[in-house]
Amino acid sequence: MLEDLKEKVLEANLALVKYELVTLTWGNVSGIDRNENLMVIKPSGVDYDTMTLDDLVVVNLEGKVVEGNRRPSSDTPTHVELYKSFTSIGGITHSHSQYATIFAQACKEIPCLGTTHADHFHGTVPVTKFLTEDEVNSNYELNTGKVILDRFNNLDPDAMPGVLVAGHAPFTWGKTPMDSVKNNLILERIAKMAILSLQLNPNLKNLPEYISNKHYQRKHGPNAYYGQKK
């Protein structure tokens, strides 16, 4: 069942380790089959070292396990919620990568300070509000998805492929599971460079918009000319 997607989800989860985005069993990547409306996700609390295809769990968009002997990631309801609203995405990554998590903990959005940011995240990387006590005590993970969607009310998830959950950590997404991991890695890099750029120059302003637009369009716009023709 969904063997091809499972392989992509496993490979993407292992890339979290390769890119040093996770500690121990923290973090998880999922992928979705839009025809079947089924997602494949990492099991909860299983070591990356020993994880195999058989450990992955298939879940439907009501969040019910359809296949697999493991409990799915405890963050599964957040993934489901995002897949239901962000209909163009094919993969989601959650990690506690250090510098992105620092911004999440500090409840600071990441301003666009350079072209590295502009190349991949179109504008300021947003932070959600804190969940209320009620939102935490009933359906915490589902409500985590809802506060993300609330924050994206006026944002395009294709142009802004990630978010910082206040006091928690980042979620990123992309066309594929691996793309969502790469966006997690990029977010980590721009977060580190942002905190140190602001320390070096506390009066630093955002990159001029005509430059950030240029860089984003160079990679992602209809006339993108970065990379090879597909």
What residues act catalytically? 119, 226
Q: Which of residues 80-119 bind its own copies (CB under 8 A)?
A: 96, 98-99, 101-108, 113-116
When the beta carbons of 87 and 210 are compared against its own copies, the nearer one is 210
Determine the interface stretch with its own copies among 4-12, 32-40, 60-68, 222-230 (rule: CB under 8 A). Answer: 222-230
HEC per residue, the chain: CCHHHHHHHHHHHHHHHHCCCCCCCCCEEEEEECCCCEEEECECCCCCCCCCHHHCEEEECCCCEEECCCCECCCHHHHHHHHHHCCCCCEEEECCCHHHHHHHHHCCCECCCCHHHHCCCCCCECECCCCCHHHHHCCHHHHHHHHHHHHCCCCCCCCCCEEECCCCCEEEEECCHHHHHHHHHHHHHHHHHHHHHHHHCCCCCCCCHHHHHHHHHHHHCCCCCCCCCC
Binding residue for its own copies, selected from 60, 124, 139, 197, defined by CB under 8 A: 197
- Of the candidate spans 2-10, 19-27, 77-85, 86-94, the one that interacts with its own copies by CB under 8 A turns out to be 19-27
In the complex, minimum distance from the CB of residue 143 to its own copies, in angstroms, rounded to a whole number = 11
In the bound complex, what is the minimum distance in angstroms from residue 161's beta carbon to its own copies?
14
Task: Indicate the residue among 37 and 54 with the shorter CB distance to its own copies.
Answer: 54
Binders of its own copies among 41-80, rule CB under 8 A? 43-46, 70-71, 74
